[in-house]
Amino acid sequence: QKEVEQNSGPLSVPEGAIASLNCTYSDRVSQSFFWYRQYSGKSPELIMSIYSNGDKEDGRFTAQLNKASQYVSLLIRDSQPSDSATYLCAGENAGGTSYGKLTFGQGTILTVHP
Amino acid sequence: DGGITQSPKYLFRKEGQNVTLSCEQNLNHDAMYWYRQDPGQGLRLIYYSQIVNDFQKGDIAEGYSVSREKKESFPLTVTSAQKNPTAFYLCATYLQYTDTQYFGPGTRLTVL
């Protein structure tokens, strides 16, 4: 099993719909998770972080973490064409003294069409 | 991109040449990281450094080298030993206890 794996996509949703992005992780990844958005040709930007079981909401974005099932998801409500990007899931490596060391999933391409 | 600069933005290299990618930060962050991204792929860690004069190999360090002589700078050298260096290279910093990695704008390296 890959340490962090995202549903392959690409994902296409109509404007105004809910986009659902999913990610599963292995035991080598700790309980800290991050969602990054990356526009084509640009660097990733952090949009959500989540550490505890349950939901975390920030505007139109909701991150969900389920430690028992080892998955983390990102919901985007009222999707806009400007949300069209690649979304990267990342988990912080477990154990050791290497803080901030992240493992990334392969990314999911989201397209929001008008 | 906030305080992290990478240069050049585009770099072309002939096979057999070594090239050095620059990463400079003025955020006073302790840790710095180098990632490689291939088309349709996530980021893979090459090297990272948590303090000056110390660095560790990431998952794909073969064919790369780094130095960390000062806190602000973490250059990456892509050597001729790297078999497939064409990729998008990203430098990042991390401030402990903020749980946030900040990325530079990236360098796109193409081997001709």
Percent of chain A with pLDDT over 70: 95
> 């660097």: which residue's tokens?
A43
Residue of chain A nearest B42, judged by CA positions? A106
> Mind giving me the DSSP string for B41-60?
--EEEEEEEEETTEEEE-TT
Chain Cα centroid distance, residue B22:
8
A4 touches chain B (CB under 8 A): yes
CA dihedral B44, B50, B56, B59 (to 10 degrees): -20
pLDDT band for B2, please (50, 70, 90 cuts).
low
Interface probe for A, chosen from B99, B108, B110 (most Cβ of A below 10 Å), is: B99
pLDDT digit string (tens) for B10-38?
Answer: 999 998 899 999 999 999 999 999 999 99
Residue of chain B nearest A98, judged by CA positions? B50
Rounded CA-CA distance B104/A9 in Å is 26
Rounded CA-CA distance A21/A81 in Å is 16
Q: Give the residue-averaged pLDDT of B29-52.
A: 93
| pLDDT confidence of residue A96 | 61
Rounded CA-CA distance B106/B10 in Å is 9
pLDDT digit string (tens) for A29-54?
Answer: 877 899 999 999 999 999 999 999 99
CB B74 within 8 A of CB B27: no
| Residue A52, number of CB atoms within 10 A of its CB | 10
**Nearest-CA distance B94 → chain A (Å):** 6
pLDDT digit string (tens) for B63-105?
Answer: 999 999 999 999 999 998 888 999 999 999 997 777 788 999 9
